[in-house]
Amino acid sequence: MKNHKIKNIKKELLSDNWYTLNKFTFDYQKNDGTWETQHREVYNCGDAAAVLIFNEEKNKLVLTRHSNTCAL
């Protein structure tokens, strides 16, 4: 499924020392129809998983403390 709200994705390698760190730049179409350039940095430490806990009743993310073992 293609997301038509995201275009012009550029990937830039920032670091390849221990693990890889990439910077993604892309244009994102907001709900009002205007386009905005956004940046995200993604640190890849191999096999990993991320979970976002979402409370549907309150329409909010639940933030918790976590342990980051890939940086050890």
Mean pLDDT of 27-44: 93
**pLDDT value for 69:** 59
- Model confidence at 70: pLDDT above 80: no
- Model confidence at 72: pLDDT above 60: no
The residue ranking higher by pLDDT, 26 or 3, is 26
Question: Could you tell me the pLDDT band of residue 18, with boundaries at 50, 70 and 90?
Answer: confident
pTM above 0.95, yes or no: no
- Model confidence at 66: pLDDT above 80: no
Q: Could you tell me which of 62, 43, 42 has the C-alpha nearest to residue 54? A: 62
Residues 6+ apart with CB under 8 A from 63: none
